[in-house]
């Protein structure tokens, strides 16, 4: 896009943006003649992708701001009016909106609610910060046709985002995703209404405890051993951090109601979009849990828990006596997912509640260990694309196809877990409650979570995973990422990490029951799987590798060393291609 076109778009944006802070940013750049920054803000529109929006906050069409959010919501409203014409004609369409602690989340959420109201769609707006899983629950509980949560999940402070949901409580997938994208791209006029008028006409309703309490009750109802918790709750001490996000309200309430002692990191308890105590508010990052682990050491906690800002992701660190008296180990999402799968299946069997055709769902980049754990309990493990919306899609399919298959657990490697059907997205609150119960259960048998994990390794092989992310920001980023994927497609490696590649799966056109997606997978001779995909929400390309080493006679330590050697060699080969 040439310089004049960029400048014209900047001037046009100023005339449309109603938030003076964002328009002033662009005016300042024009006055300063900062074309480099203007180009980055206006060379494209921030893409409304298959999951919604995510980007850096600021003025411009390629930023998260009030105008971009309003346009997106107008497009979503327009699609909804066409997709459900009967309810549109009857005036009974409904939407619900939640938001997290990020900068401008409350403003973006209110703007979205008023756009729905202006289009004749009743909007339920949470009165304050709420987790993403509660938004999913609220859609189903209130009988809404769509929902929005304003969040950028675990991204750095300068980001915000916008996730769109359909009437089953899951993020939108085909055909709705493309239909919404088309409507968003076609928006020329945004309908607006004031908050006073929306309230007066009944198109806006502020909600809080009428959804909070049923959600909390549902989470508690999904536990297996309430009597065990009641009898032994005092034996487990929990340190928890919401990482300046939305989780404290529900995690503290649910675990407190169960009688569990929860000590929340005071400096990280309240919502704060600056995330002042962490570089990245992501429980996958060991550094994000540092403050909680230090408090855990002081309090001699049995488990340290963390949720990300919108409380859909959940991670834990546990005491590791092998590393020292006060050492804690951060479990990976794959490890915690395997432990939860094992505990859920074991409990269903012990309590006589295992359905006739149980199904666990995980993603194609999740550890193969979970499939072995599931098989050991007679549970079928179904793979889907990366992203919890695809796990929800499998749930929906089995509810409708008459197969008799029953969803019992869903998980993905990036700290996502779902133990209930009332929510159709990953749920850090319910994962926290179940993990607390699981910790108590193994404690009652004289074991720690690490003890049980080692038992699973001895039975199923030692599994270890690797993740690599490379960012490509700016106008040239998409082309660079496409070039990397094209190179792997046109000239796939014969060897990765010194191990022969025996098969390649390219999902560009779909494969079997998996929809089309920009994903490549390489299957190695020893059973290792390496996957590559550009992120759908950020300017980065991601690589995943999962490998297994036989525990055998050498024991766990030898297996750990073997897996680490394999993954390090694979990492070197990938880094040479992407320039890390």
Whole-angstrom CA distances from 210 to 111, 217, 507 are 22, 12, 43
Residues 524 and 404 grouped into a single domain: no
pLDDT of residue 324: 64
Q: Assess if residue 279 is contained within a domain.
A: no
State the Cα–Cα distance between residues 138 and 477, nearest whole angstrom.
Answer: 37
Which helix (H) or strand (E) is 295 found in, with range? helix 290-299
pLDDT band at 466 (very low <50, low <70, confident <90, very high): very high
Q: Which residue, among 67, 111, 79, has the nearest Cα to 178 in the 3D structure?
A: 79
3-state class of 95 per DSSP?
A: strand
User: Across-strand partners of 469?
Assistant: 542
Distance between CA atoms of 201 and 207, rounded to whole angstroms? 16
- Which residues lie closer than 8 Å to 307 by C-beta, 6 or more apart? 131, 241, 242, 243, 245, 246, 247, 251, 283, 313, 314, 428, 429, 432
Instruction: Tell which phi-psi region holds residue 431, choosing left (phi > 0), alpha (psi between -120 and 50) or beta.
Output: alpha
Q: Are 23 and 30 spatial neighbours (Cβ–Cβ below 8 Å)?
A: no
What is the model's pTM? 0.95
What is the domain-level CATH number for residue 486? 3.30.310.50
User: In the chain, what percentage of residues exceed pLDDT 90?
Assistant: 91
> What pLDDT score does 51 carry?
74
For the annotated catalytic residues, the residue numbers are 153
Task: List pLDDT tens digits, range 55-69.
Answer: 999 999 999 999 999
Q: How confident is the model at residue 192 (pLDDT cuts 50, 70, 90)?
A: very high
- Please provide the average confidence, as pLDDT, over all residues in the chain: 95
Strands 159-166 and 146-150: antiparallel
Indicate whether 11 belongs to any domain: no
**Stretch among 25-34, 371-380, 470-479, 514-523 having the lowest mean pLDDT:** 470-479
Domain count, the chain: 3
Pairwise CA distance, residues 317 & 331, whole Å: 6
| Cα–Cα distance measured from residue 471 to residue 482, given in angstroms and rounded to the nearest whole number | 13
Mean pLDDT computed over 1-11:
95
- What integer pLDDT is reported at residue 476 of this predicted model? 86
In a domain, 276, yes or no: no
In this predicted structure, what is the pLDDT of residue 154?
A: 87
**In whole angstroms, what is the distance from residue 130 CA to residue 425 CA?**
14
- Tell me how far apart the alpha carbons of residues 387 and 519 are, in angstroms, rounded to a whole number: 13
67/175 same-domain check: yes
Same domain, 207 and 106: yes
Full residue range of the structural domain in which residue 362 is found: 334-426
Q: What is the pLDDT of residue 325?
A: 62
- Shared-domain flag, residues 343 and 469: no
Among residues 273, 278, 283, 282, which one has the least CA distance to residue 108? 273
Return the pLDDT at 580: 77
CATH of the domain at 408: 3.40.120.10
């Amino acid at each position: 896009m040439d310089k004049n076109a960029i400048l014209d778009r900047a001037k046009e944006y100023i005339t449309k943006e109603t938030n003076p802070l964002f328009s002033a940013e662009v005016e300042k750049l024009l006055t300063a003649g900062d074309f480099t920054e203007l180009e980055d803000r206006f060379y494209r529109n921030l893409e409304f992708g298959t999951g919604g929006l995510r980007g850096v906050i600021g003025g411009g069409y390629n930023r998260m701001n009030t105008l971009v959010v309003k346009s997106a919501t107008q497009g979503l409203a327009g699609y909804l009016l066409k997709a459900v014409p009967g309810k549109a004609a009857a005036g009974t369409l409904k939407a619900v909106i939640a938001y997290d602690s990020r900068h401008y989340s409350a403003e973006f959420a209110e703007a979205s609610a008023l756009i729905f109201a202006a289009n004749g769609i009743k909007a339920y707006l949470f009165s304050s910060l709420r987790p993403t899983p509660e938004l999913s629950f609220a859609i189903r509980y209130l009988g809404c046709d769509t929902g929005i949560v304003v969040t950028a999940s675990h991204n750095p402070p300068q980001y915000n985002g916008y996730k769109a949901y359909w009437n089953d409580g899951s993020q939108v997938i085909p055909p709705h995703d493309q239909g919404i994208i088309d409507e968003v791209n076609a928006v020329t006029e945004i309908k607006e209404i004031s908050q006073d008028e929306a309230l007066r006409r009944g198109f806006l309703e502020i909600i809080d405890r009428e959804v909070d309490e049923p959600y909390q009750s549902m989470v508690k109802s999904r536990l297996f051993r309430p009597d065990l918790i009641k009898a032994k709750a005092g034996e487990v001490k929990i340190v928890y951090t919401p990482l300046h996000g939305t989780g404290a309200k529900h995690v503290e309430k649910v675990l407190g109601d169960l009688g569990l002692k929860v000590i929340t990191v005071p400096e990280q308890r309240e919502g704060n979009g600056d995330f002042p105590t962490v570089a990245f508010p992501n429980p996958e990052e060991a550094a994000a849990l540092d403050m909680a682990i230090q408090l855990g050491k002081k309090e001699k906690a049995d488990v340290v828990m963390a949720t990300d800002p919108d409380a859909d992701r959940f991670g834990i660190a546990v005491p590791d006596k092998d590393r020292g008296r006060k050492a804690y180990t951060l479990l990976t999402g794959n490890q915690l997912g395997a432990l939860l799968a094992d505990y859920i299946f074991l409990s269903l069997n012990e309590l006589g509640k295992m359905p006739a055709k149980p199904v666990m769902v995980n993603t194609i980049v999740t550890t193969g260990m979970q499939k072995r754990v599931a098989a050991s309990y007679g549970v079928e493990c179904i793979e889907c694309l990366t992203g919890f919306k695809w796990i929800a899609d499998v749930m929906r399919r089995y509810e409708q196809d008459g197969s008799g298959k029953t969803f019992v657990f869903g998980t993905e490697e990036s700290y996502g877990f779902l133990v209930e059907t009332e929510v159709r997205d990953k749920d850090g609150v319910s994962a926290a409650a179940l993990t607390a119960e699981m910790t108590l259960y193994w404690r009652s048998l004289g074991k720690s979570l690490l003890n049980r994990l080692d038992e699973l390794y001895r039975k199923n092989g030692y599994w270890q995973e690797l993740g690599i992310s490379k960012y490509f920001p700016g106008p040239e980023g998409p082309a660079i990422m496409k070039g990397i994927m094209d190179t792997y497609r046109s000239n796939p490696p014969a060897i990765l990490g010194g191990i022969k590649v025996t098969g390649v799966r390219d999902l560009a056109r779909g494969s079997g029951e998996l929809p089309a997606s920009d994903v490549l997978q390489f299957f190695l001779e020893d059973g290792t799987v390496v996957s590559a995909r550009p992120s759908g929400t950020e300017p980065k390309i991601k690589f995943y590798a999962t490998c297994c080493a036989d525990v055998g006679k050498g024991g766990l330590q030898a297996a750990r060393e073997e897996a680490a050697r394999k993954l390090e060699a694979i990492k070197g080969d990938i880094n040479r291609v992407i320039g890390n």
